[in-house]
Chain A
């Protein structure tokens, strides 16, 4: 007889232990939401952005987000930037549940080695244009940086830098106002009188402002990043001016 009651009791215990009415909400209730902007620039590698250990985004070159952050638990949210290759944490920041804490954008600059909160560039010099170049090109695309008029005559160009290797900064060139009314910066194959991309002036042209005696007087600072893109035969450069991303 005992056996029967043991069975009954066992069943009841098992069934009762299985009853769980409340589960865990899959979409966590939002306690608060506040504005959060971040902007940055990533060179030389890809960074991964994590929030509370959950990967959200990958950053390469220009990186920004303008929106809001939600808080669904007590305490701050931990933001981390990790290097994609080895998952090493390069930057972390606790974002507090306080609107005042996020009213300024989160800024970061990765130079391929470390993450800094801002990008450094020289002070402006009146009348002198300071331009730095970085070419995010395949390693077999060294180039000469030249300028000239719209004629596209490679034999009449002036050189700003020669044999510039991809993925290396050309430090700030100090350029005084130049003669001419309309001058263009473009790239030649290193050591050759040949436009870099398909020997085509239009494709090899860079968006860079040169100071002119009869035009733009200079005095600005430009930190120019160019990324070569070949999208199914559609070739060109993506351009960023890091000075615009990191204003003083």
Chain B
């Protein structure tokens, strides 16, 4: 609590200094006779720290006979000039704009001393390829005011009300004049300008265009260079949505969908084949057992833009097959701002219901643990093989007293046992502050920073209507028995804190920026399922279901510090960055319990906790655990490019080097709570929270004790190094053809330093690692042909290499509550992918696009999650391993169209956009499954079994579309979206009855927004998942297909050679019917159904 108070006070304290108006208190002394206004202002400029913006010619025409200021404040001086000479002044930061009021000046022009802001023009200067042009001279013809663009091409001018003409000039480019640029007080006029290369450098050419034409051209250019095989969303667009984190924002981008609102699927290709970068540096995997980044870690208010690249150029340092998700946070702002946002939301399946978990900590709402969960001391004595409670001390290596002492060191069980809390509505607060300072009047010398803080607490109760996976009973005893269901809830309590501080310094030729982001997330997932397990289905003797509880309180810290630089040295450009990313995810006191049932007179049944059997070699039926994942990434990238012209062609040659060092640690410590004879113990009727009172080992045969073992208290450590270098050529030939091509050489090495197994029965398990693929040569080429100005025809080829994640070759395995089974790895190797793309894009108007594309990808050794049934225990488990190959072919369509074509006159239609995108794809996979066997002389052996099938890759969706309509009026906005995902491969397998799919799901969202209080305040109402669409999974049950005789021993078959669906059934979901004789379902088995409910959120934002 103290921490939070200090944090908040620290955050808000600077506001006081910031918000106090500058009193223009600097003293000036001027004594001039028979002079003009220009000379007076020039003198003020000299004597104060303020810069003055004015028209020399205009002020020189104003004669002043006598001026005598003696140590008066600047405010007093300005007031006198205003009163006596019809001046008006406007102040922006340290710039004072001077304007001579005409007799017909509009009455709403308020003198500067009354603090009216001037208007501004801001934008970006680019060449015809969309590359920024730094150091471009920009002059306002009416006032003579000049400035230059920064190294990133951006510029801004503070101007009084009026209509101006800008003239832009840059060496070897045509000079451009833009007329009719209107500026209004307090408002920013956005103007991106494109300069075209001069064909003859010796000949000065000036082209003139009006504001409307040029701004549209700028927008076109950005679209044409970005909308092709790259799609994105800007801060301005994000601000129009109610999105809380990037995970929600991503689904608004063409061809992108998210799983559970946080994992990204690009073009229907799963998260493993996508890469996330933050300000250009790769982000670590946030899922320990999968290569994946959970995007809900990053609040949207920190984000400048999100761009998803779908085709590869050699200068991209990270390989991908689906998409490269590039998140950029804000750096130097274009103007000062302060904003505050507060919001709340409620979910109709959460509010009013019990919200369960084990005992909360005092600081859970603040994202920190109060110490209750930290019960895992170092240097525990492992008891397996050295302590048996059923024999005397004399026969044990470790004595009972030592075990008692260790129990005491660990502590009691007060936190355990399910509690019920009242669910609270979600709440979120965001505060952002940006400041920019111009250090010079005549040159670009900008320094600025952006800081942001956010807080969010969300509570969700997901209803699990059906759980028939893994160790749960996979079908009811009687298919028509409505009581024979496995059902429960998943309670998610999430607190997120985000802090960002970015700062930068820009000149015309240089830019230095630092990005610093810290996010802290406490995410507690508590699952509680009631049902019958696979070994004990419902029967007359087993009429009550059991309960399984599982809690994972996870504390995540993500800290990224980064320094970047950009330098323009004539035709040379150099950019570099160095970053360090630190991720720590600590599951503290992650607990699991299997509850048994017992019938009492007044409870039928009463659920009771049972201790684990001390001789159980696994983690037992009741345990507490600590799982700490830590990863440190160090990243350095240097790029250099040279621009040159040959005739009417423009070329850039670019080269660079990147280095990344990744180091990961994963430590686990599991403490089963055990007793010598669990079956006859009498602890069931004692509350679990009091079990710590029975751990003194006074009677070792009956005492409870923590039972750590060597394999349940161990850790993984691994590191990888990547070196990459490339050569890229960007050739613009005439105005119609552009070729970007080159190659990249990449070295990757992964070393596992410690890699023990987490289970006794896996101690001898060896990972299967493929051949080494350390060095990779990755060519790529992108060609764009524009036969007419608003049409692009694109083709691209690239080879990419997806490297194994650090933990993907770990021998750690863990029971995953969602899968209902163990999840482990067989070992994975690098996946090589050949990507081919073709696309036609038409830009019918500003902000509009109609496109169609085709892609083909060949995956060599794609990694997939297989469900295997190799366990002697008979319970299938899930393992990550490589398939042999996969081919994916797909079509992609996109539409974004304004409705003004219906009526040009309608003010409403011009603000309505329809948008939609569609991805259709088909795949073919040569599956590869490992088989464990014994040789004739009884030695262990392994071999592969292959199966070629026409199926989707793991995580892949064959049909995906998003439809939306958006109205954005001056005050009111409405946005309706529908997202549809067809059948998705959830877990694959060589046998149909083990592969699992997610059924098609459509989600509809609606957003309403309204701006008021002079548009400073905006209220947004978001209604998510309006139809309460569930997530439903199923398996093609063995009753729906047949295995062709004689195919069992064959190792290389096509799916159709081995299997055939029975009449009425297919790979899709068919409900089937109940067989009257056996009471069993003949149809596809529904394995998991989860309802997440409808969410209604209201947020208010205020810009100061």
Contact = CB atoms under 8 A, between A and B. Distances in A.
Contacts of A65: 601
Nearest to A23: B419
B600 interface: yes
B603 interface: yes
Interface centre among A4, A77, A79 (most CB of B within 10 A): A4
Contact of A20 (B360, B602, B609): B360
A70 B599 CA distance: 10
Contacts of A18: 365, 424, 427, 457
Given A1-B16, A12-B5, A16-B1, A26 B356 contact: yes
Contacts of B360: 20-21, 23
B12 interface: yes
A234 B687 CA distance: 47
B419 A70 contact: no
A15 B363 CA distance: 10
Interface string B665-695: 0000000000000000000011111100000
Contact of A19 (B354, B362, B455): B362
Contacts of B359: 21-23
A139 B37 CA distance: 115
A15 to B, nearest CB: 6
A57 B604 contact: yes
B602 A27 contact: no
A7 B19 contact: no
Given A12-B8, A14-B427, A21-B359, A27 B601 contact: no
A159 interface: no
Report whether over half of chain A's contact residues are helix, strand or loop; otherwise say mixed. Answer: mixed
Given A1-B19, A20-B421, A22-B359, A27 B606 contact: yes
A29 B600 CA distance: 14
A11 B8 contact: yes
Contact of A12 (B4, B361, B601, B688): B4
B420 A24 contact: yes
B417 interface: yes
Given A11-B8, A11-B429, A27 B607 contact: yes
Contacts of B685: 30, 33, 70
Contacts of B12: 4-5, 7-8
Contact of B602 (A8, A15, A51): A51
A74 interface: no
A25 B690 CA distance: 13
Nearest to B344: A14
B23 interface: no
A67 interface: yes
A38 B362 CA distance: 46
Contacts of B602: 51-52, 54, 56, 69-70, 77, 79
Contacts of A30: 685-687
B394 interface: no
A27 B608 contact: yes
Interface string A51-71: 110101100000001011110
A119 B362 CA distance: 58
B604 A70 contact: no
Contact of B600 (A15, A33, A38): A33
A106 to B, nearest CB: 9
A29 B429 CA distance: 39
A33 B686 CA distance: 11
Contact of B603 (A24, A29, A70): A70
B15 interface: yes
A36 interface: yes
B1095 interface: no
B534 interface: no
A16 B357 CA distance: 19
B361 A21 contact: yes
Counting chain B residues whose Cβ lies within 8 A of the other chain, the interface size class is 35 or more
B420 A26 contact: yes
Contacts of A15: 4, 365-366
Contacts of A77: 602
B9 interface: yes
B576 interface: no
Interface string B349-379: 0000010110111111110001000000000
B418 A8 contact: no
A16 B366 CA distance: 9
Contacts of A57: 604
A37 B960 CA distance: 62
A67 B601 contact: yes
Contact of A26 (B5, B8, B370, B418): B418
B601 A69 contact: yes
Nearest to B601: A69
B600 A25 contact: no
Given A22-B359, A26-B420, A27-B418, A51 B15 contact: no
A127 to B, nearest CB: 42
A154 to B, nearest CB: 36
B1061 interface: no
B340 interface: yes
A7 B1104 CA distance: 14
Contacts of B420: 23-26
Contacts of B604: 56-57
Contacts of A12: 4-5, 8
Nearest to A29: B687
Contacts of B354: 26
A57 B599 CA distance: 11
Contacts of A79: 601-602
B764 to A, nearest CB: 40
Contact of B365 (A5, A19, A38, A67): A19
Contacts of B5: 12
Contacts of B15: 1, 4
Nearest to A19: B365
A67 B601 CA distance: 7
Nearest to B19: A1
A77 B602 CA distance: 8
Contacts of B455: 11
Nearest to A26: B418
Contacts of A11: 8, 429, 455
Nearest to B15: A4
A97 to B, nearest CB: 12
Contacts of A20: 360, 421
Contacts of B599: 67
Contacts of A4: 12, 15-16, 19
A141 to B, nearest CB: 27
A12 B1 CA distance: 9
Interface string B1-39: 100110011001001100100000000000000000000
B365 A70 contact: no
B903 to A, nearest CB: 45
Nearest to B415: A21
Nearest to A71: B602
Contacts of A27: 417-418, 606-609, 687-688
A16 B424 CA distance: 13
B362 to A, nearest CB: 5
A7 B687 contact: no
A54 B687 CA distance: 22
Nearest to B427: A14
B106 to A, nearest CB: 32
Nearest to B355: A23
A67 B607 CA distance: 16
A75 to B, nearest CB: 13
Given A8-B9, A18-B365, A23-B359, 19 more contacts: A1-B16, A4-B19, A11-B8, A12-B4, A18-B424, A19-B365, A21-B361, A21-B370, A22-B419, A23-B356, A23-B419, A25-B418, A27-B606, A27-B609, A29-B690, A52-B602, A54-B602, A56-B602, A70-B685
16 contacts: A11-B8, A12-B8, A18-B424, A19-B365, A24-B421, A25-B419, A25-B689, A26-B356, A26-B418, A27-B607, A33-B685, A56-B601, A68-B600, A69-B602, A77-B602, A79-B602
Q: 5 closest A-B pairs (Cβ-Cβ)? A: A23-B419, A51-B602, A69-B601, A29-B687, A26-B418
